[in-house]
């Protein structure tokens, strides 16, 4: 990733982080002056002699795998909703509410716990979040009705929100360049793999509503052991309790980039919310097939092309990446809306693939416009803010769609209105991107 003027984006910021030798995952322990005047911090001290700690690329891969596992766990219920609905007899609005409460819980956790790792360290927050995530999966595996499903989603959302800020900041602590890339690509990999593996479990394995969650618990236990061995990347500092107070504060140097990125992030995650909550139902309407693998393919295709777009565009300017995302999103959603009107399955998946490219490049462009410019002590908070915007887009429109389906519009018409709203939002973001000169990272 090449940088210009000492930053990943267009305008210069105050001296930020300590320099790092090429190929190394840790920085110098000497004091570093950060973007806020008067703030002086040290990196976490080196471990005691003889104490082995996970550092460098292995730590980077572990942290990225945490995002994959957490987002896979959040997507795993999607192919199971049809089973739950047949078993417990609820309506589509219940599906979207179950989906939406997860997003609300993530938001609440980001607002309160998003900056905690900047004060107590990355490892303690991650270990606590993984323990709570495992507990939520056990609730899923033993659920006997909608109340337990709602409880599991809330607990899962709280754990995910607590972890995301710490993971994202930890990735940048270890390697600023590769960490930025991992922050962009890992969510799509997690969501896509989670929904596909869950659908395959429904098709081929016994007791899928139990087995998929217990398998994820096993993965998280292994990852927690890795986190316990990981070297801490920040030194604990006072203010942990104060950081729990919900607060949205942007460093002055980041306000412009964040305002440019916010509409794009909201638009692309709104689309992800539609596919996460209603994708299988839309495929069933188009094909008449109740095959859960086929239904899960809609979200899988969306996330697959999102990941491919991130990889292909990793060397491009962030402004160009966001423009690509907006144009692909508008085109893809328009094709998908046409497919729903014509009842064409092949056209639906074509539109989904194009929309996925818009999702991936829009999300990557937003992250790369903002995150590399944040100083070390700002990273968890800034990432939490971006995730707050993303999860607002993920949850709120999806719940609204559930109400519209039940109260008169029906599934197809609701999806058409939803798609139209996503297009308008993407068009609203276009002037901000065109009017902002953003020099961003080209990740090697």
Check: CB of residue 233 under 8 Å from CB of residue 117.
Answer: no
Alpha carbon 387 to its chain's center: 7
Q: Please report, for the chain, how many H helices and E strands are present, in that order.
A: 15, 2
Angstrom distance (rounded) from CA 191 to CA 360: 12
Angstrom distance (rounded) from CA 427 to CA 434: 11
Instruction: List C-alpha distances in Å: 321 to 29, 223, 318, 342, 360.
Output: 35, 32, 5, 31, 9
Rounded to 5°, the CA angle 321-75-283 comes to 85
Angstrom distance (rounded) from CA 66 to CA 302: 21
Angstrom distance (rounded) from CA 120 to CA 431: 40
Torsion sign over Cα 154, 158, 159, 160: positive
Domains of the chain: 57-240+251-434 (1.20.1250.20)
pLDDT per residue, tens digit, the chain (444 aa), is 433 333 333 322 222 233 333 333 434 333 333 333 333 334 455 555 545 677 778 888 999 999 999 999 998 988 888 888 888 888 777 888 887 888 889 888 888 887 788 778 888 999 999 999 999 999 999 998 999 999 999 999 999 988 987 888 888 788 877 887 887 788 888 888 898 899 898 888 888 889 999 999 999 999 999 999 988 877 777 777 876 776 666 677 677 777 778 888 898 888 988 888 788 889 988 998 888 888 888 889 998 999 899 889 888 887 888 899 999 999 999 999 999 999 999 999 999 999 999 998 988 888 777 776 766 666 666 777 787 788 788 877 877 887 888 777 888 888 999 899 899 988 887 877 776 554 444 333
């Amino acid at each position: 990733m090449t940088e210009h003027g000492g930053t990943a984006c267009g305008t210069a910021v105050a001296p930020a982080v300590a320099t790092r030798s090429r190929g190394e995952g840790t920085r110098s322990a000497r004091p570093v002056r950060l973007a806020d005047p008067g703030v002086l911090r040290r990196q976490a001290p080196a471990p005691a002699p003889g104490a082995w700690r996970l550092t460098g690329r292995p730590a980077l891969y572990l942290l990225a795998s945490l995002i994959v596992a957490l987002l896979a766990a959040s997507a795993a219920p999607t192919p199971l909703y049809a089973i739950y609905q047949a078993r417990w007899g609820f309506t589509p609005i219940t599906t979207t509410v179950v989906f939406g409460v997860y997003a609300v819980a993530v938001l609440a956790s980001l607002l309160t716990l998003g900056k905690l790792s900047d004060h107590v360290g990355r490892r303690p927050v991650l270990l606590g979040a993984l323990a709570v995530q495992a507990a939520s999966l056990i609730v899923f595996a033993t659920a006997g009705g909608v109340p337990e499903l709602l409880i599991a989603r809330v607990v899962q959302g709280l754990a995910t929100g607590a972890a995301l800020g710490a993971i994202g900041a930890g990735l940048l602590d270890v390697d600023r360049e590769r960490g930025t890339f991992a922050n962009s690509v890992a969510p799509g990999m997690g969501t896509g793999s989670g929904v596909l593996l869950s659908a395959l479990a429904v098709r081929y394995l016994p007791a899928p509503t139990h087995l998929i969650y217990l398998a994820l618990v096993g993965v998280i236990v292994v990852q927690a052991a890795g986190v316990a061995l990981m070297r801490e990347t920040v030194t604990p500092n006072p203010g942990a309790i104060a950081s729990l107070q919900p607060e949205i504060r942007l460093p002055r140097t980041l306000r412009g980039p964040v305002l440019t990125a916010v509409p794009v992030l909201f638009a692309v995650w709104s689309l992800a919310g539609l596919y996460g909550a209603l994708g299988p139902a839309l495929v069933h309407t188009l094909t008449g097939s109740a095959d859960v693998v086929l239904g899960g393919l809609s979200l899988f295709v969306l996330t697959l092309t999102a990941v491919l777009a991130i990889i292909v565009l990793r060397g491009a300017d962030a402004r160009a990446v966001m423009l690509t995302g907006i144009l692909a999103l508008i085109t893809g959603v328009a094709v998908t809306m046409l497919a729903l009107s014509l009842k064409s399955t092949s056209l639906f998946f074509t539109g989904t693939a194009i929309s996925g490219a818009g999702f991936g490049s829009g999300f990557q462009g937003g992250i790369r416009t903002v995150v590399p410019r944040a100083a070390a002590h700002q990273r968890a908070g800034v990432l939490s803010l971006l995730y707050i915007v993303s999860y607002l887009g993920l949850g709120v429109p999806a719940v609204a769609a559930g109400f519209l389906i039940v109260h008169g519009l029906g599934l197809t018409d609701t999806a058409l209105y939803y798609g139209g709203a996503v297009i308008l939002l993407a068009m609203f973001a276009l002037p901000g991107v065109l009017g902002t000169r953003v020099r961003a990272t080209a990740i090697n």
